[in-house]
Chains A and B, each alone.
Chain A
Amino acid sequence: MNNTFFIVIGIAIVLVIIFIYNSLISKKNQVKNALSGIDVQLKKRSDLVPNLINTVKGYMEHEKQLLEAVTKTRTQAAQQKEGTQKRFASENMLTQLLAQLYVVAENYPQLKASENFLKLQAQLYDIEEHIAAARRAYNGAVYTYNNIVQMFPSSLVASAMGFKSQPMFDAPENETTNVNVNEKF
């Protein structure tokens, strides 16, 4: 009787551990998936930046420094390993520089009238929105994963199996507000 009881309890514990382990793997994969989602969007943006620079450099001769900074930061970001904090820091810097570029573009009426520039700018704004969405999806996945890693009793399994909490992605301040394009055009 006693043996049966302990066997049943043992099987139940093993099943719970398997369930928790599988949940942890599933959530960890979701985090990885969300992270790759950010990278996809960052890559798209990175591909568009040279086109943007080529389009604006003819009009913005006096903003050479800014254009160089954009190019340099883009190269730096591309050189960093995907999904690392350094890469994200470079990408954040690029976001800020691009925002600065759009503001400066206000002083160049001919550039503002250029259809190619407007198209590129709209595409970049759209990608920025995608990046923001991907970051939020990443944070959502990390939040769920961290809950499992830190909550009892799954925390016992997580620590025994070497699962660690993941850092959330902090979006730059200017990305948390919506940009009004009407004002910019």
Chain B
Amino acid sequence: MKNFDDIYKEVLPLLKKLQRQRRVYRLLKFIGYGALQLLILLLVVYVVYITFFIFTPDTITGFFIRQGRRNADKLNYIYSLQLVFFLFIPLSFLYTRIRRKQQEIFSLVVKHVAPNFQFIPHAIIPKNCIDHSKLLSKQLEKNENAYVMSDGKLKGKIDGVDIELADISLLNSSRKIFFLYYIPGINFLMVALLYLRPLFTRRSVEDFSDFKGLFMTADFHKQLHGTTVVLPDVLEKRAGFVGKILQGMNIKRDELVHMENTAFEKEFVVYSTDQIEARYALTPVMMERILAMRQKANKPLMISFREGKMYMIIPEPEGIFSFKPSENVTKPPALKRMYDNIQFCLTIVDDLQLNTTLWKTGCSQQHHK
């Protein structure tokens, strides 16, 4: 296995190319967004002009027809401004190329860091798999038509444990508003809203996703009949004892489980279909390992155990395996972050000791033969 410096040297030409593409992309994006804002400003001015200078009560009847005829040239001029959206076509092509280049770099790093792993650029984690994990049920419930996007999938085996990893994005495409894209005029506003939304949100998202982060599935050699979900304990941290009571009344989740490890209980909240099974999956040692991993990752962890699988999500708005949008990718820290993230994921099996054969019962051993 090559060390980081060697990998960096090998990947540097690709990183330089990527950095050039990212610069052009940013420039085009700046021009596109600028033009879009100008267009919206013009539209606002036009609406104000119609409302205050032309629209009077006695001209209500047939106003739109008369004004439409009278100002046909002006309207044509306004519609022609929609050409601004053509600017976004090369932007979209460039974005795809950048993604591909990034995947190429990622693939190279994986080849050196984890040779027995396979990176599949076009594969995604299916939505039903995310649904099955019960980890993002809140987000999926909100967006019944959510799409799952990922920049490829990493697949492999560590000590007999099958694992799959991918950076996932949940895209909101709610049916309730989607039909608006088919209505002339309103579709124009919808597209404008889509592009303007990031300007008014604190989250630095490029793809309008509702959730972004690492999704991982791994074999869990314990026979489980129910589901146990471990989530970051935000409510109890904020509201203390009251928060705990509210968590107990959460009808959208299964039964609340009070774990005896106080440090774990402070950091996480556990819901399960079965009190005993929750403790069977989360042994005292397992709780300690999860706590240690939480500290190591320094990010919130969401874990679930269901039907012989362990699912894990680490929320990360910028993606675990991607470069940050504004950083200079030719500098070593950018690649180091990607390198460290891959290394971290590869140690999850060891850290949680998912390879422990103690958990292999007769049935699971037969199953694996």
Contact = CB atoms under 8 A, between A and B. Distances in A.
Interface of A: 34, 37, 119-120, 122-123, 125-126, 129-130, 132-134, 136-137, 139-141, 143-144, 176, 178-182, 185
B276 A123 contact: no
Interface residues of B, number: 23
Contact of B361 (A122, A133, A182): A122
Contacts of B223: 126
B258 A144 contact: yes
A141 to B, nearest CB: 8
Contacts of B283: 129, 132-133, 178
A125 B277 CA distance: 15
A119 B257 CA distance: 32
A122 B275 contact: no
B274 to A, nearest CB: 9
Contact of A181 (B280, B285, B357): B357
Sorted nearest first, the 8 A-B pairs with minimum C-beta distance are A133-B279, A133-B280, A181-B358, A119-B362, A137-B275, A136-B279, A126-B361, A137-B276
Contacts of A185: 357
B362 A122 contact: yes
Contact of A139 (B260, B285, B357): B260
Interface of B: 222-223, 257-260, 275-280, 283-285, 356-362, 365
A170 to B, nearest CB: 13
* Max chain B Cβ within 10 angstroms of own Cβ: one of A34, A137, A143: A137
Contact of A130 (B258, B280, B284, B357): B280
Contacts of A141: 275
Contacts of A130: 276, 280
A120 B276 CA distance: 22
A119 B365 contact: yes
A137 B259 CA distance: 9
B256 to A, nearest CB: 11
B236 to A, nearest CB: 16
Contacts of B356: 178, 180-182
B360 A122 contact: yes
Contacts of B259: 140
A137 B279 contact: yes
Contacts of B260: 136, 139-140, 143
A123 B283 CA distance: 17
Contacts of A122: 360-362, 365
Contacts of A133: 276-280, 283
Given A129-B283, A129-B359, A132-B283, 5 more contacts: A37-B276, A125-B358, A133-B279, A134-B279, A143-B258
A136 B285 CA distance: 13
A180 B357 CA distance: 8
Nearest to A180: B358
Contacts of A136: 260, 279
